[in-house]
Amino acid sequence: MPPKTKVTREQIVSAGLALARARGPQAINARAVAAKLGCSTQPVFSNYAAMEDLQRDVLAAAQAAANAYMDPASGSDYPPYKAVGMGYIRFAAEEPALFRWLYMRDRSAESPADDRVENAGVLRLIMDKTGLSEDAAWRFHLEMWLFVHGVAATLATGYVRWDPALVSDMLTDVFQGLRARFAGKEGA
């Protein structure tokens, strides 16, 4: 009798991520993951006592995928701050189910992150590029990011089509407009 193939947690998470990409996070269950892996549900339940734990790990894998899109050092042709926004928007266009799961779900029960700490690197990029104070850079980023999220959401829901050149021009327009407005307030 041949030895049983060991199914790892990583394989289970990968299968769960594939299901979430194709059919949304509601598709993640032991039976569907097992079918994706071509095994029984036993390895899934051996690695995960609760489906909530598996979903948490798949959500973390989805976040890692999103972060890879938004990494300004990923070889993008855009300046670093713009690369983050363009990556976020491209993630929405190319991974709409994951984008909706990560960024368009009800998060009212979650503890809010300390956004200034979480975005310290981004704030530094803005401060270096514009000469703004940290408080002004935070407001600048908030306004810019709300615009970026709106573009991304329209792509993730299929409302508009992905046109990287147009989106790049739009981000430049908004960035320049915000920089001009904030420069008048701060003398930057």
- For residues 80 and 26, give the distance between their C-alpha atoms in angstroms, rounded to a whole number: 35
Q: What dotted CATH number matches 1-61?
A: 1.10.10.60
Predicted local confidence at residue 110, as pLDDT: 80
pLDDT per position as a tens digit, 152-171: 999 999 998 999 999 999 99
Determine the number of helices (DSSP H) and then strands (DSSP E) in the chain: 10, 0
pTM of the shown model: 0.88
- What DSSP line would sit under 35-48, residue for residue? HHHTS-SHHHHHH-
pLDDT per position as a tens digit, 101-148: 999 988 888 877 777 778 888 899 899 988 999 999 999 999 999 999
Q: Given pLDDT bands bounded at 50, 70 and 90, which one contains residue 45?
A: very high
* pLDDT for 76 beyond 50: yes
